[in-house]
Amino acid sequence: MKITPVELIKLTKKAKNHSIKMQNRLLLYWAVMTFVIFAAILVVMSFAGVFSNSEEKASHLLELQQQNTYAELSEQFTLLTAKGISLSERTSEILEGFLFTESASMLSDNPEMLEVIETILYGDLDAVIHSNPCNGAYIIFDATINTKIPEAEKSRAGIYLRLANISGKNEISTDVTLFRGIPAVARKNGAELHNRWKLEFDISAMPGYDSAANFAGTRLADGCFWTENTTLPETWESMVLLNTPIVAKDGSIYGVCGIEVSEFYFRLSHPAVESEFGSMVTVLAPIEKDELMVSKGMVGSSGGTYLRDNENLIIREGEKFNTYIGRDSAFIGTHQKLDIALEDGSAIYAVTLLPAGNYLREEATNRLIWGISAIVLFVAMIFVSFFLAKKFVRPIAQSLSAIQENKMEDAENSGISEIDSLLSFIEKNRASGNENSLPSDIEELFTEFAKRAESLTPTERSIIKYYSDGKEVSEIPELCFISINTVRKHNANIYKKLGVGSKEELMLYVELFRRCGRFDELL
Amino acid sequence: MKNILKKFFAAAVILILCLSVAGCASYEEEKQPVTISIWHVYGAQTDSPLNDLISEFNETVGAETGLRVEVTMVSNNKNIHKDILAASNFDPGAPVLPDIFVAYPSTVMAMPDENILVDFRDYFSEEEIGEFIPSFVEDGTVNERLVCLPVAKSTELLFINKTAFDRFSESTGIKAEALSTWEGLFETAEIYAKWTDEQTPETPDDGKALFVHDFHFNYFQVGTESLGENFFSDDKIAFGPAFGKAWEPYAKACLSGGVWLQGGYATEPLRTGESIVSVASSASVLYFSNEVIYPDNRSENIELIVRPCPVFENGKNLVMQRGAGMCLVKSTPEREQAAVTFLKWLTEPENNTKFAVSTGYMPVTSEAFEKYLPSAIENLTEQKYVELYGAYLETQEKFEFYSAPKFDEYLEIENKFEESIRQFMENGRKSWLLTDRSPEELEKATEENYTLFKDYM
C-alpha cells in the first residue's frame, strides 16, 4: 500500500470538511509535516550516497585485497622463475664439470656417475624448496640409467624433491621426500622415498617437458614456461610446474629443470582473508571467453566460502567490481593479468573473490537497519507530534470549557496571552452587565446603608456577623464576653446608626447585601 | 478522523518497510559455511580415500548444514606428532593447530596441556559411545577423558613379495610358511642374506635384507608379552628373560644382514626390491605398489600376499592393535559442533565401513562389523586388498589384540628404543663383518650387543 501526495491532499481536505477535534486536526498537520521532513531527509541521504555504503566498502575492500593478491602472486611467480633460471645455470655448470664437451647422453647407462651428480645437486634442490615459496623442484637429465629397457625412450634420469608434510608456507623444518631419483641419494641425506617414488621420469607424462627440451633460443628467460594445473600421477595432488631448459655452453640441451607449486601448497600459502563481507579468496587462473577457468588454475584457501577448485565461473563485468557466477554460488571480485609466461602463450590472472551472498546480505541487512531505524524515528516523531498537539490544545480547550460552563473565575491561567486576555474581557463585560441591572433607587438605598454601616464599631460589626450566622440575642453575651445589658445597648446603637427599627429589618438588609454579593461592605 | 490517521500511519510504515527489506529474502539461504581444518594420515602422498570422503561430506551433509571440512595436512603419524607438539608448544615457525587431527594417546600425553582437547563424551551420548567397540573407546581414553575418537583401527600383518620369495624358495626350498613364526622368519632372513650375496660372487658383502619391520619396538613389546612376561616394569623396559629370547633370533638376523636397518617405512625397501618381506600396519597396503623398480630401472609387477603377524613358537598369538584416533581442539561451540557433525557422519556404520575398507583399516562400531563389513570384504576386487582382509579376518579369529600401555614416559622410551636399536645393530654388523663370521662369533656379537643395548636404555 502506497500513499501519494495527491491522496495526502485528499485526506487533508476530507478532514477539513468534517467537523473534527482541534487536537486531531493539529496532529494531522504535524504528522504531514513530519512525513515531508522525513522523506526529504531520506532523499538527501540517498543522494549523499549513505545507502550505497556497502557497495563502496566492498569495492574498496576488493581493491585493497586485489593489490595484495597481485603483488604476492607476482612476487611469488617472478621469484620462482628467477630461481628456475638460477637452478638451470647452476646445473649446467656442474654438468659441464663432468661432461666437458660431451652431451648429457654420456650419462646414460652410468648409474654411478648419475648418483654422484644427483648427490651434488640434492643440496641445491633442497635449498630451493626450503627457501622459496614452492614445494618441489627437479632436474631431469637427457640420459637414462638403462638404455636397454623397452621404456628407455621416454625414461629420463634425474632427481625430484618434494616437501613431505606441508601445513603452512612458513615452515622451516619440513621433511623432504624423493619423488624421482636414486634411493641411495635420499638415504645419504636422511630423506624418505615418496609413496609413489620411481627411479626415473616418464617424460611423455611430464607437462611442458618437450617445449623446454627443444628450446633453441639464447636467453633462458625466453625458455621458461609455467604449465596449467595438472594432476600428479597416482596421488591426490595437482600442481603447476615451471620448466626451464638446462643449456650447455654450445647451446645444446643437457636436460630440463623446474619448480613445482602444488595446489595444496598454494591453498595453504594463500589463506583466505576475513573481511566484514566474509572470506576473500585468492585465485590464479586463466580466462577463456568470459569464463574464469578455475579448474586450470589454483585456488587459495576457500575459507568460509563454497568455492570449488574444479568449477569454472562465468564473469559478468561490473562498474565497481565484477560478478563471477558458478553452478550454485556467486562471487563478487576483481581480476588482473599477471606477467607470467604460460607454455601456450595464454594469459593468467590474479583474482580476488568474495562471496556475493555475504555482500548482498550485508547490503540488505544495512537496508533493514536503516528501515527499522527510520520506522522507529518516524513513530517517535509521530508521538512527539501527538504530545505537542495535546499540550498545545489542552489550555485552549479548558478555557473554552470554562466559558461554556460560566466558571471563568475558576479557570486557571492558560499561559496563552491571547486566551487569557479573551477570558478577562468576557468576565469584565459580564461584570459590568450585572451592575447595570440593579434599579438606581435600590442601588442608592444600598449605597446609603453601606455608608451608614461605616460608622459601626468593631463590636457592633461582630454582633451583626453573629446575627447573620443565625445566632440569637441571648447567645451574644457568651460569644462576645459581655453582659446582656451591654448587648442591648449595642443593639440600640446599631439600630440608630443604620436607621432600622427592629432586628427583622436589620436581617432583611443583611440578606439583601449577601445575595448581591456585597456583604463585605457591611463588615 | 481516527481512520484517516490510521491509514496514514499504516501507509508510511509499509512504505518504509518495503524500501528497507527489498532484496533480503532471495539471499537468506546463502549463508556461508563454518570451515573446519583437519590433519590426517589416511593416504599420505598417494590417493587419499579420506579426502574423497571429505569431498562427499562437503557436497552432501556439509552443504545442507552449512559446514565444510578442509584438509590442511595429509602426512603420517610421525610428522603429525611432531607438528602437533610444535604447535601446542607455540614453537617459532610452528603451524597453527587444526580443528581436528589424527593422533595416538601418546601424542596427547606429550602435549603441554591435554585439556585443550575436547572430551568427546560431551558431544556423544552414552548410547552413541556404546555403539563403538569398547576396547577402541578405552584405547582413546586418556585420564578418563575420551580425547582420541576411534574412526578406524589397524593391526600389524606380514606382507610378502610372493614373486621374489618364490624365486628364493625355488632355490633354497624354504617355504613361506616358515615366516609364520619369528624364529622361522629370522632364520630365513639369515639364509636369504647369504643366498643373495652368493648371487653376485664378484661383489662381496652385497647380501640383501629379507625382512623389514616398521616398528622394532613393537616386535619386542608384543613378543615379550606373548611369551608371558611384562615388557614394562615401573614404566621402564624390564629386560627379562623373555626379552632375551626375543633378542637372540632378531639380533642374529640383523648382524647377518637379513634385516633392513635403515630408516623409513617398511614399504620403501619393498618398492625398490631391497627387501621382500615386511611386518607393517595393515593400513600400509595403500602405500604398497604392485611394481618393484630395481636399481637398473627394470621394473617387475609382483604379487603381494598378506598373512597374520608372526608369533613365537612357544608364545601365545598376540598382535599389536594400532590405529590412531581423531582429536578435536577446543574452540567455539559452533566449530566444535561442526567438527562433531563430521565425525559422527564418518563413524556412521556404512560410511565408516567404506572409509575403513578403502584404507586398509577395520571399522570401529559393532554395527559396521556385523552388518556392513562382510559384504564390503566380499565385494573387494583388488588382489592385495583381498589378501589383506583375508589375513585380517584370520587374525581376528586366532589372535588376541595387545594395546600399548599409557604412561607419560612411553613415547620417550619408544623413540629412544626405535632410533637406537637400528644404530646398535648397524654398528654391530659392521664389527661382525670384520670377524671370521663363524657361528660362535655371531653368538658372541649377539650377547655383547644385548648387554650394550640394555645398558644404553
A279 shares contact with chain B (CB less than 8 Å) = yes
CB contact under 8 A, B32 and A278: yes
Probe site for chain B from A19, A167, A329, A368 (most B CB atoms < 10 A): A167
Higher-confidence residue of A353 and A175: namely A353
B47 contacts in chain A (CB < 8 Å):
234-236
Chain A, 58 to 117: residues with Cβ < 8 Å from chain B are 111
A18 contacts in chain B (CB < 8 Å):
1
Using one digit for the tens of pLDDT, what is the confidence trace for A48-64?
A: 766 667 788 888 889 99
* CA–CA distances in Å: residue A391 to residues A382, A413, A423, B6, B287: 14, 14, 19, 21, 89
* CA–CA distances in Å: residue B250 to residues A454, B416, B447: 148, 18, 12
How much is the pLDDT for B93? 75
Higher-confidence residue of A15 and A151: namely A151
Higher-confidence residue of B367 and A38: namely B367
**Average pLDDT rounded to a whole number, residues B389-418:** 86
How much is the pLDDT for A5? 55
A167 shares contact with chain B (CB less than 8 Å) = yes
Annotation: CATH topology of A68-268: Beta-Lactamase (3.30.450)
Return the percentage of chain B with pLDDT > 90, whole number.
39
In chain B, domain spans? 34-153+323-364, 155-321+400-456
Return the percentage of chain A with pLDDT > 70, whole number.
91
pLDDT bin (cut points 50, 70, 90) of residue B7 is low
How much is the pLDDT for B193? 92
**Average pLDDT rounded to a whole number, residues B378-388:** 87
How much is the pLDDT for B46? 66
Q: Which of A164, A167, A301 sits opposite B70 (nearest CB)?
A: A301
Annotation: CATH topology of A440-522: Arc Repressor Mutant, subunit A (1.10.10)
CB contact under 8 A, B1 and A15: yes
The three three-digit cell numbers of residue B81, written as one number:
606428532
Distance from CA of A27 to the nearest CA of B (A): 9
A192 shares contact with chain B (CB less than 8 Å) = yes
Q: Which of A192, A196, A305 sits opposite B264 (nearest CB)?
A: A192
A132 shares contact with chain B (CB less than 8 Å) = no
CB contact under 8 A, B48 and A194: no
The radius of gyration of chain A's CA atoms, rounded to the nearest angstrom, is 54
In this complex, how many residue pairs, one in chain A and one in chain B, have their CB atoms less than 8 Å apart? 191
d(CA A37, CA A43) in angstroms, rounded, equals: 10
How much is the pLDDT for A1? 42
Q: Which of A197, A357, A364 sits opposite B32 (nearest CB)?
A: A357
pLDDT bin (cut points 50, 70, 90) of residue B16 is low
Among B387, B417, B365, residue whose Cα is nearest residue B157:
B387
8 A C-beta contact, residue B275 and residue B160: no
B24 contacts in chain A (CB < 8 Å):
361, 364-365, 367-368
Q: In this model, does residue A263 exceed pLDDT 70?
A: yes
Higher-confidence residue of B215 and A360: namely B215
How much is the pLDDT for A173? 63
Using one digit for the tens of pLDDT, what is the confidence trace for B50-82?
A: 888 898 898 899 888 888 898 888 777 777 888
Q: Which of B5, B79, B80 sits opposite A28 (nearest CB)?
A: B5
Distance from CA of B193 to the nearest CA of A (A): 19
Distance from CA of A513 to the nearest CA of B (A): 52
The three three-digit cell numbers of residue A506, written as one number:
436589620
8 A C-beta contact, residue B181 and residue B152: no
The three three-digit cell numbers of residue B182, written as one number:
619369528
Q: In this model, does residue A500 exceed pLDDT 90?
A: no
CB contact under 8 A, B35 and A190: no
- Paired with A262 in beta bridges are A239
Q: In this model, does residue A266 exceed pLDDT 80?
A: yes
pLDDT bin (cut points 50, 70, 90) of residue B31 is low
Distance from CA of A12 to the nearest CA of B (A): 9
Q: In this model, does residue B10 exceed pLDDT 90?
A: no
Beta-carbon contacts of residue A324 (< 8 Å; ≥ 6 apart): A292, A313, A314, A315, A316, A330, A331, A332, A333, A351, A353
Q: What does the mean pLDDT of chain B come to?
A: 86
pLDDT bin (cut points 50, 70, 90) of residue A12 is low
Q: In this model, does residue B292 exceed pLDDT 60?
A: yes
Higher-confidence residue of B412 and A180: namely A180
CATH 3.40.190.10 applies to domain B155-321+400-456: yes
B289 contacts in chain A (CB < 8 Å):
196
A40 shares contact with chain B (CB less than 8 Å) = no
CB contact under 8 A, A167 and B20: no
How much is the pLDDT for A18? 54
Beta strands in A135-175 (DSSP E): 136-141, 155-156, 158-163
The H-or-E segment that residue A477 falls in is helix A476-480
Q: Look up the ipTM and state it.
A: 0.83
Beta-carbon contacts of residue A384 (< 8 Å; ≥ 6 apart): none
Using one digit for the tens of pLDDT, what is the confidence trace for A272-296?
A: 888 888 889 999 999 988 899 988 8
A145 contacts in chain B (CB < 8 Å):
295-297
CB contact under 8 A, A11 and B271: no
How much is the pLDDT for B25? 44
Q: In this model, does residue A431 exceed pLDDT 80?
A: no
Chain A, 351 to 370: residues with Cβ < 8 Å from chain B are 355-358, 360-361, 363-365, 367-368, 370
Q: Which of A124-138, A243-257, A463-477, B115-129 has the lowest mean pLDDT?
A: A463-477
CB contact under 8 A, B287 and A195: yes
Beta-carbon contacts of residue B119 (< 8 Å; ≥ 6 apart): B145, B146, B147
pLDDT bin (cut points 50, 70, 90) of residue B27 is very low
How much is the pLDDT for B26? 46
B70 contacts in chain A (CB < 8 Å):
301-302
pLDDT bin (cut points 50, 70, 90) of residue A442 is confident
**Average pLDDT rounded to a whole number, residues A302-314:** 83
Beta strands in B232-360 (DSSP E): 232-233, 236-237, 277-281, 291-293, 299-301, 304-308, 318-322, 325-328
Beta strands in B177-281 (DSSP E): 211-213, 232-233, 236-237, 277-281
A41 contacts in chain B (CB < 8 Å):
none
Measured between CA atoms, the residue of chain A closest to residue B64 is A306
Return the percentage of chain A with pLDDT > 90, whole number.
26
Reading phi first (left if > 0) and then psi (alpha if -120 to 50, else beta), residue A248 is in beta
In chain A, domain spans? 68-268, 280-361, 405-435, 440-522
A133 shares contact with chain B (CB less than 8 Å) = no
Annotation: CATH topology of B34-153+323-364: D-Maltodextrin-Binding Protein; domain 2 (3.40.190)
Distance from CA of B262 to the nearest CA of A (A): 8
pLDDT bin (cut points 50, 70, 90) of residue A2 is very low
Distance from CA of A2 to the nearest CA of B (A): 6
Q: In this model, does residue A14 exceed pLDDT 80?
A: no
Using one digit for the tens of pLDDT, what is the confidence trace for A93-132?
A: 999 888 887 888 888 999 999 999 999 999 999 999 988 8
Q: In this model, does residue A257 exceed pLDDT 50?
A: yes
Sign of CA dihedral A483, A485, A488, A493: negative
CB contact under 8 A, A11 and B74: no
Q: What does the mean pLDDT of chain A come to?
A: 84
Probe site for chain A from B6, B7, B14, B27 (most A CB atoms < 10 A): B27
CB contact under 8 A, A278 and B15: no
CB contact under 8 A, B264 and A193: yes
CB contact under 8 A, A171 and B93: yes
A392 shares contact with chain B (CB less than 8 Å) = no
**Average pLDDT rounded to a whole number, residues A251-267:** 90
A162 contacts in chain B (CB < 8 Å):
45
Distance from CA of B388 to the nearest CA of A (A): 19
Q: CA geometry: angle at B20 spanning B18 and B23, to 5°?
A: 85
Chain A, 202 to 261: residues with Cβ < 8 Å from chain B are 234-237
A310 shares contact with chain B (CB less than 8 Å) = no
CB contact under 8 A, A199 and B13: no
B7 contacts in chain A (CB < 8 Å):
3, 11
Q: In this model, does residue A46 exceed pLDDT 90?
A: no
How much is the pLDDT for A82? 93
